[in-house]
Chains A and B, each alone.
Chain A
Amino acid sequence: MHGHNTAEFLDGVSGFIGCFYLSLAAMNATAALYLWQTGKARSYFKVAGLTITTAHLWLAVALIFTVMGGIALGGMAGLLSLPIGLRAALDNIMGPMTYTLGSLVILTVLYLGRSFFVKPIVAWAGLNLSLLFMGLSLTDYDFAQIVTKPDNVPIVAMVYLLAYFTWLSAYRAVENDKRIANGQGPLESEDDEKILVWPDLVYTELICMIVLTVVLLVWAVALQAPLEEPASAVKTPNPSKAPWYFLGLQEMLVYYDPWMAGVVLPSMVVFGLMAIPYIDFNKAGNGYYTINERKFAYLTFQFGFLVLWVTLIVMGTFLRGPNWNFFGFYETWDAHKVEALNNVDLSEYFWVRIFGVGRPQAPEGAGTLQSIGWILVRESPGIVCLIGYFAFLPPAMVLYSKFFRKMFIQMGFLRFMVLSNLILMMALLPIKMLARWSSLNMKYFISIPEYFLNF
């Protein structure tokens, strides 16, 4: 913490934080009112003749947030912070590995426990907790610095929108799966009555456009579009970041060379997305939300979209600082932070560490073809691994797994090869991450800098 005055900073944000808590209070009060009015509130127990219901619960939460809002508006926002020790501890355990594996574990838990987590009361509690965490963190200078950067605000919004829609779809899917198990059709088949587009749809669209226009105008008045100093080809900012929607690709540069991260993998993402309708032979789940009827497709897509695309963007935006080093939520972006880089190539492991000989090297004055031959020998361990991975794993999957065998028979050779290779390609990123983070510190499986070909 340097370069800023904590008290001054807190003064500056306390108004905003106060309004933030007050809107949370309003949000919970509305929920309580809604539950009470519609009679949807569930009662828990009786105290002194009064039945305590969920409406009371959210009303109490609203009161707490109101008090917090008052404290912040009264200029004591500093009271509403996470303890410094906790912040330091969180920063300490955070790293690319904890972040990525942690997201994976959390999403897996959410998936497995989906019938519990989609319950509105659980989801609402989760929303409140995450917003509380945001509020408590906003009093941290470094956290606030990154999260409230104008260009980053949409990303915070995106995270919440994605969480909401993931919940909504899972909620409906769980409901549908229950109905289908009971022999009923999905919810969507209830509403197959035909209605006129004018007025129903046309008016919905009109209202939608008006609301959006208002949102955009308010947003535009509240947040000024960023404009930095005029472009200068000699002053490189640190960190230099691509636009936010490409930060997942930039993050992959840590593990892959640019020709993979910037060219081959994005092309495969586009190609893979286009291939989905032609690979997915499952006829069920067309036109309604369901998870049970298409588990494999669901999990594969969620892994690609939520884990590989979205969480990497979030990490690239909020947690990657100068020199693309990793910084925890509450850590100052210090350009002088040094991270020891002693990554080792596979060929180095193989020849030097295991066999104790030098890496094979073409003799002095060798011709082009001869030196290519030597390079291939040098990199043979990685080449063998890779060929094994892409050429032998798919047939092995068919031979040894009942699940994939059934799939293979239904899909045919070509579809299965496309599917298995796309999935193996996706899986390669976490594999490369693990190989890097583990004590192996693996850099490249194949390293041919002579021809810009590292893998």
Chain B
Amino acid sequence: MPPIDQIIRESQIWKSIFRHPAPVDRRNRVVVMLTNFFLHLHPVSIKKQGIALSFTWCMGGITFFLFLVETVTGVLLMFYYRPTLEWAYADITALRDVASLGILREVHRWAAHAMVITVWLHMYRVFLTGSYKPPREFNWVIGVILLLLTLLLSFTGYLLPWDQLAIWAITVGSNMARATPILGHEGPGAALLTLDGIDMITNASDARFGLLGARFVGEETLNRFYVLHCIAIPLGAALLMAIHFWRIRKDGGISGPL
């Protein structure tokens, strides 16, 4: 009888899932990269220094991996968590005390912190190797937006536990929007926007109100941040990452000396 793994590999089911034989020889190692959906993100062959850890620090890849960890743990957290004043805090406590896998929230939070750090390190590496220079200028720009989205993801998530740490950090952070020039009710120039002596920009119509959905951090804010955190920003980030990865290939792969 042939070995069990061979039986599996030659079964119709296996062959229907993986469109190529086991990558044991050179030809099949090339084919596997071309025919597998996940692997086709990569080129078939690459310059040796492009994958040297001492060159890329693998930081972009680690950031992406952490994003995936956040997605998976985030979905699991969403099973338990209800974004209302009544339940938010209680659900978070229950996650620690009652839910099985009691470290779900921990993994999510620490991976979020780690992701902020690794994005910075990735940007640092890209700068230090001058990899933003032509033809990669625009991928750097996409990267900056990804950096911003990463920070906003972290910021919107900070509010969700609805404890003292959460609402006051968001209060401090969003108070600054009150002072947006022209558009914040305590910002320079806001007084210029008046119609017949009635102020257009008040604490119920300024930039901060738009951000919080209310005049202070309350239930509307919780809902708004929840939607931003779980849907809007991740979708935006995923789209930009797709473009980011695509551009790496189109711009000629990982940079190297010319």
Across the interface, name the chain A residue whose C-beta is closest to B182.
A259
| The one of B54, B117, B151 that contacts A168, using a Cβ cutoff of 8 Å | B54
Which of B130, B151, B181 touches A288 (beta carbons < 8 Å)? Answer: B130
B99 beta carbon closer than 8 Å to chain A: no
The reply on A285 being an interface residue by CB < 8 A is: yes
- Asked if B116 CB lies within 8 Å of chain A CBs, one says yes
Q: Are B51 and A204 in contact (CB under 8 A)?
A: yes
Q: Choose the segment among A32-40, A131-139, A231-239 that binds chain B (4+ C-beta atoms closer than 8 Å).
A: A231-239
A86 to chain B, nearest CB (A): 31
B89 contacts A230, C-beta separation under 8 Å = yes
Q: Which residue of B lies closest to A283 (CB)?
A: B133
Judge if B92 is at the interface, Cβ distance under 8 Å. yes
Q: Are A204 and B53 in contact (CB under 8 A)?
A: yes
What are the residues of chain B within 8 A of A194 when measuring CB–CB?
45-48
Option from B129, B179, B188 in Cβ contact (under 8 Å) with A287: B129
In angstroms, Cα B162 to Cα A274, docked, is 34
- Which residues of A lie under 8 Å from residue B216 when comparing CB positions? 233
B190 CB within 8 Å of chain A: yes
Contact A241 B103 (CB under 8 A): no
Complex interface bits, A288-320 against B, C-beta within 8 A gives 1, otherwise 0: 111000100110010001000000000000000
Is A276 an interface residue when CB atoms closer than 8 A count as contact? yes
Q: Mark A176-201, 1 if CB is under 8 A from B, else 0.
A: 00000000011011111111111111
Is B148 within 8 A of A232, CB to CB? no
Q: Is B19's beta carbon under 8 Å from chain A?
A: no
* Interface check A384, CB cutoff 8 A: no
Q: Does A45 contact B (CB under 8 A)?
A: no
Within 8 A of B (CB), among A250-284: 250, 257-259, 261-264, 270, 273-274, 276-278, 280, 282-284
C-alpha gap A305/B120 in the complex (Å): 9
A228 x B165 contact (CB < 8 A): yes
B 217-249 to A, binary, CB cutoff 8 A, 1 in contact else 0: 110000000000000000000000000000000
Look across to chain A and name the residue whose beta carbon is closest to the beta carbon of B38: A202
Residue contact A237 to B164, C-beta cutoff 8 Å:
yes
Mostly helix, strand, loop or mixed at chain B's interface? Answer: helix
Residues A165 and B48 in contact, CB atoms below 8 Å apart: no
Are B125 and A231 closer than 8 Å at their CB atoms?
no
A169 at the interface (CB under 8 A from B): yes
Q: A194-B45, A229-B163, A262-B179 are in contact. Are A276 and B132 (CB under 8 A)?
A: yes
Given contacts A165-B124, A204-B51, A216-B107, contact A188 B181 (CB under 8 A): no
**Contact string against A for B residues 119-138, beta-carbon threshold 8 Å, 1 for contact and 0 otherwise:** 01101110111111110111
**Chain B proximity of A346: nearest CB distance (Å):** 17
One digit per residue, 1 when the CB lies within 8 angstroms of any chain A CB and 0 when it does not, for chain B 58-71 equals: 10011001100100
Interface pair A453/B188, CB less than 8 Å apart: yes
Whether the Cβ atoms of A165 and B179 lie closer than 8 Å is no
Which B residues are CB-close (under 8 A) to A270?
144, 148
Q: How far is the CA of A285 from the CA of B127 in the complex (A)?
A: 10
- Determine, out of A90-98, A217-225, A436-444, the stretch whose residues face the partner at the interface: A217-225
Of the residues A158, A259, A273, contact of B184 by C-beta under 8 Å? A259
Q: How far is the CB of B66 from chain A (nearest CB, A)?
A: 8
The answer to whether A220 and B107 have CB atoms under 8 Å apart is yes
Contact call B188/A451, Cβ cutoff below 8 A? yes
Contact call A258/B164, Cβ cutoff below 8 A: no
Q: Which residue of A lies closest to B136 (CB)?
A: A277
> What's the interface size class on A, roughly?
35 or more
B209 to chain A, nearest CB (A): 15
**Residue A212 at the chain B interface, CB threshold 8 Å:** yes
- In whole angstroms, what is the CA distance A259 to B185 when docked? 11
Q: Which residues of A are found within 8 Å of B123, using beta-carbon distances?
A: 273
Inter-chain contact A192/B256, CB cutoff 8 Å: yes
With beta carbons under 8 angstroms apart, the residue of A232, A249, A259 that contacts B164 is A232
A233 touches B167 (CB 8 A): yes
B204 at the interface (CB under 8 A from A): no
Cβ of A227 under 8 Å from chain B: yes
Among B48, B66, B189, B255, the one with the most A-chain Cβ atoms within 10 Å of its Cβ is B48
The CA of A242 and the CA of B33, in the complex, are separated in Å by 45
CB distance from A162 to the nearest CB of B (A): 7
- Interface status of A157 (Cβ within 8 A of chain B): yes
> Assuming A201-B42, A202-B42, A212-B62, what are 13 further A-B pairs, CB within 8 angstroms?
A188-B55, A197-B43, A204-B53, A224-B106, A225-B106, A225-B109, A241-B168, A243-B155, A259-B181, A262-B179, A277-B141, A287-B258, A452-B179
The 9 closest A-B pairs by CB, nearest first: A262-B176, A220-B106, A277-B137, A258-B179, A191-B49, A453-B188, A287-B255, A259-B179, A154-B113
- Interchain Cβ contacts under 8 Å between A and B, 30 examples: A154-B117, A165-B57, A195-B46, A195-B47, A197-B45, A198-B33, A204-B58, A212-B66, A216-B69, A216-B111, A220-B107, A221-B103, A225-B106, A227-B96, A230-B163, A231-B164, A233-B167, A233-B217, A236-B168, A240-B172, A243-B169, A259-B176, A270-B144, A270-B148, A278-B137, A285-B129, A287-B130, A451-B188, A451-B189, A452-B186
Instruction: Name B residues whose Cβ lies closer than 8 Å to a Cβ of A.
Output: 23, 26, 29-30, 32-33, 39, 42-49, 51-55, 57-58, 61-62, 65-66, 69, 89, 92-93, 96, 103, 105-107, 109-111, 113-114, 116-117, 120-121, 123-125, 127-134, 136-138, 140-141, 144, 147-148, 151, 154-155, 158, 161-169, 171-173, 175-181, 184, 186-191, 216-218, 255-258
